Amino acid sequence: MYQMSGDPASRAAALLVDEAWDAYREGRYPRALDAAQRGVQAAELTGDMVALIRALRAEGSVLQIQGDHAAALVRFTRILALAQDRAAAAQLNDSRAAWAIADAYASWVDSARVLTTIPVRDLFGVLDAGEQFLTVTGHRDWRADLVLARAFVHRSLDELDTAIDLAREALALKLAHRETPSWMLGSYQFNLGDMLCEAGRSSEARPYYQAILDDPDSGRWDLRIAHIGLASCALAAGDSETALVQARTATELAEPLGDNALCTSLHVLTRACRARGDLDAAWRAATRNLEAANRIGSQFRRYYATRIAVDVALDRSDLDAARPLLAELDGLAAAMDAATGLRRCADETTARHLRLGQVVRSQALAQLNQAAQLGAVFLKRWLRWD
């Protein structure tokens, strides 16, 4: 096991990494990022490769949960480059360094899949390399994260049945090897639940979300995700009142966690408000979601925020809002589909263009009817005057 160096800078780096993870678990992400970045600087001063890789992993993980996947990818890439550097390899014979490297493979894929600059199918090669690393280092019992990341890729490719099977396998591995380093249990539970919901199997998903709420170790992030999941289950069951309660709770939990947490929470709140027929509240939630997504800047977040904003604008027959949003959605959809090689986003956007046309025709017909009614009124008056 890694022993903390006697060098003050190395000790500082190790302590800063611990501070970063404590703040991360408490949802204090700016504090976590600051500690992790200072940990990287301290490790670089001494050339302590174990401390450096651990600090880079902490920094990348905080950036990732804040939605800055491009920056996170840079950190995970650096970890993998150090792991392949023969000059550094002798300094990395340590279980904590090995875990940080193994996590970097899975986390690299988790971030890369939401960036539209990397073909999604290419990510399987990175996961294969991660599996090989675990085999060579004798840590096959650490596979849970890589299996879940593989499920993410299949989900991105609309291969949902395969994704669900892999998510189940990942959860089973996590439960069988609870003492091994891996992502938090809630990550496996809510991701499996989300995939089941997406497959229209919300009744199977509900227990996984409830398990997170029942777990006293669940943090604010996981509790938020669980309430989002339960809101989705309620919407699938036609229970808009329960969905609204769950969505509001998720949004309240998200407020101190930053824009990335707000996006998914406001998304389900928008859905719940639409289901309740409260289109003013739905528009407020949708525009907040869009603002948060634009601050994050990723095309992934912007696509989903823009898509639901278009839906609400069309619900409200607000063509002035819908038209520019739909034009923006076209470009985002093209980028998303280019990464997956699918036409899913283009098809979703086409459906909204068709709906826009229906709203335009409906408004034109209403105006025509109104003009006809006014014409009839004037005609009656003219006949009476005559």
Conformation bin of residue 169: beta by default, left when phi > 0, alpha when psi is -120 to 50:
alpha
Of the candidates 171, 168, 77, the one whose C-alpha atom is nearest the C-alpha of residue 115 is 77
Q: How far apart are the C-alpha atoms of 274 and 258, rounded to whole Å?
A: 24
140 touches 102 (CB < 8 A): no
| Angstrom distance (rounded) from CA 170 to CA 188 | 7
> Residue 386: what pLDDT?
47
Q: Rounded to an integer, what distance in angstroms lies between the CA atom of residue 261 and that of residue 239? A: 24
CA 164 – CA 188 distance, rounded (Å): 11
65 closest CA partner among 97, 101, 32? 32
Euclidean distance between the first and the last CA atom of the chain, given in angstroms as a whole number: 104
pLDDT of residue 1: 38
pLDDT confidence of residue 175: 95
Mean pLDDT by 10 residues, the chain (386 residues): 58 92 95 97 91 95 96 96 78 84 96 91 96 93 96 97 98 92 91 97 97 95 97 98 98 97 98 98 98 95 98 97 97 95 96 95 76 68 62
pLDDT at 382: 67
Distance in angstroms (rounded) separating the CA atoms of residues 40 and 21: 14
The amino acid present at 44, given as its one-letter code, is E
DSSP 283-314: HHHHHHHHHHHHHH--HHHHHHHHHHHHHHHH
* Residue-level pLDDT at 372: 66
For residue 88, the model assigns a pLDDT of: 67
Please count the helices (runs of H) and the strands (runs of E) in the chain: 18, 0
